[in-house]
């Protein structure tokens, strides 16, 4: 793979509405050809960033560079950037064909070139035979695809998608996720996707930025963000995570620490530098927790807990286990060929451990 080329650079963007600072010195670089996702809870500023890139929102400070040109002063209609809006915003008085052709007509594309390009775009989203329909005569999923066709037909340098799948039902959303990803690969256009759905972000993106309160929390590949969350917010926002509290009792050097957790001493790895006596959070994904019958022989150390809830989820059995300290741990275990019918009863005592090194150790915060 070639060295990635920076397509869009956001420098020090800020935005304040009244007393509400929605964006705070926000920096970001988006590479050419990647599927990039802005992920965060509602109100984190992700949609504001998208609208600033599109030119539909002014910036208080900072600048936006597209291919090394400052586009801060370029109005939205002159930017080679198109958006798929959350509400689709299809023109209700125009046919599907005219909706898709709108951008081409506005930019003065030759008449004889318009029809083939529109038809091609509609074929691409498999709506070829719907060209003469009105948007109101289409289903939600079809309207969504028209919105995508209307944007990509202009061959933008950057395609922005604002929570574009959130209005669809679960099945259709899954299907559209795959279609979008495939489309992006085929077109080679850079996609910037905004969502609050972490599952969506992980499954579609090349890189993800997690945002909260107008600030970047973490930037990385989906895997980095899931497996090495930079802070407690990211850890908790992306999927489920168990939080145990520990204390550094000894430094073994090279980021290896002896940590006291739930009364036992564990040898854990951490990227951070800690001193003896520092309190830390030890974070464990539910699927990394191992639960075993307490009567089985255990060569290594384990915690003892009591099963207080068990939920059969089809693929997995999710158990809620209370440790003697009162902390509750969720364990998500897959059924496999070794023991296809394992189960626990309520109030059963079980042994808990985890694969060494799969834990994440962060400075303590609540």
- List contacts with other proteins (CB under 8 A): 54-56, 75-78, 81-83, 85, 87, 89-95, 97-98, 101-103, 105-107, 134, 150-151, 154
Nearer to other proteins, 38 or 303 (CB): 38
Would you state the structure tokens that stand for residue 138, as one six-digit string? 């289409």
Nearer to other proteins, 106 or 264 (CB): 106
Sign of the C-alpha dihedral, residues 221, 226, 228, 231?
Answer: positive
Smallest distance from the beta carbon of 151 to other proteins, in angstroms?
Answer: 8
Nearer to other proteins, 56 or 187 (CB): 56
Nearer to other proteins, 101 or 183 (CB): 101
Task: Report yes or no: 166 and 197 within 8 Å, Cβ to Cβ.
Answer: yes
Nearest to 87 by CA among 117, 47, 55: 47
Nearer to other proteins, 50 or 307 (CB): 50
Instruction: State how far the Cα of 142 lies from the Cα of 124, in Å rounded to an integer.
Output: 12
Smallest distance from the beta carbon of 223 to other proteins, in angstroms?
Answer: 33
Nearer to other proteins, 147 or 168 (CB): 147
Residues near 339 by beta carbon (within 8 Å), at least 6 away in sequence: none
Give the position of tokens 């068990």.
310
Nearest to 281 by CA among 202, 364, 190, 204: 364
Smallest distance from the beta carbon of 93 to other proteins, in angstroms?
Answer: 3
Smallest distance from the beta carbon of 81 to other proteins, in angstroms?
Answer: 8
Smallest distance from the beta carbon of 143 to other proteins, in angstroms?
Answer: 13
* CB count in 10 Å sphere of residue 124: 18
Q: Is 169 exposed, middle or buried (0-12, 13-18, 19+ CB in 10 A)?
A: exposed
Smallest distance from the beta carbon of 51 to other proteins, in angstroms?
Answer: 8
Nearest to 235 by CA among 174, 181, 285: 285
Would you state the structure tokens that stand for residue 11, as one six-digit string? 């420098």
Give the position of tokens 């001193």.
275
Nearer to other proteins, 90 or 270 (CB): 90
Smallest distance from the beta carbon of 150 to other proteins, in angstroms?
Answer: 7
């Amino acid at each position: 793979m070639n060295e990635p080329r920076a397509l869009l650079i956001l420098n020090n963007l800020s935005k304040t509405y009244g007393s509400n600072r929605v964006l705070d010195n926000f920096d970001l670089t988006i590479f050419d050809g990647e599927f990039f996702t802005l992920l965060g809870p509602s109100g984190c500023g992700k949609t504001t960033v998208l609208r600033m890139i599109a030119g539909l929102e002014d910036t208080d400070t900072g600048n936006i560079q597209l291919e090394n040109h400052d586009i801060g002063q370029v109005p939205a209609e002159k930017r080679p950037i198109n958006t798929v809006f959350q509400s689709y915003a299809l023109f209700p008085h125009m046919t599907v064909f005219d909706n898709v052709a709108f951008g081409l007509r506005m930019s003065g594309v030759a008449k004889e070139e318009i029809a083939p390009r529109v038809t091609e775009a509609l074929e691409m989203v498999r709506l070829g035979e719907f060209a003469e329909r009105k948007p109101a005569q289409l289903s939600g999923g079809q309207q969504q695809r028209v919105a995508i066709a209307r944007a990509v037909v202009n061959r933008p340098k950057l395609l922005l998608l604002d929570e574009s799948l959130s209005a669809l039902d679960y099945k259709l959303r899954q299907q559209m996720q795959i279609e979008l990803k495939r489309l992006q690969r085929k077109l080679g256009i850079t996609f910037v996707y905004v969502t609050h759905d972490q599952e969506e972000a992980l499954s579609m993106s090349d890189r993800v930025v997690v945002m909260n309160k107008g600030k970047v929390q973490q930037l990385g590949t989906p895997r980095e963000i899931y497996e090495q969350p930079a802070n407690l917010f990211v850890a908790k926002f992306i999927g489920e995570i168990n939080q145990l509290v520990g204390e550094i009792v000894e430094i073994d050097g090279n980021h290896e620490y002896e940590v006291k957790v739930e009364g036992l001493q564990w040898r854990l790895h951490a990227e951070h530098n800690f001193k003896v006596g520092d309190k830390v959070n030890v974070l464990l994904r539910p699927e990394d927790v191992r639960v075993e019958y307490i009567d089985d022989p255990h060569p290594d150390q384990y915690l003892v807990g009591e099963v207080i809830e068990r939920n059969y989820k089809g693929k997995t059995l999710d158990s809620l286990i209370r440790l003697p300290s009162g902390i509750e741990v969720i364990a998500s275990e897959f059924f496999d060929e070794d023991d296809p019918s394992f189960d626990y009863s309520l109030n059963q005592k079980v042994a808990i451990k985890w694969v060494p090194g799969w834990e994440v150790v962060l400075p303590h915060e609540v």
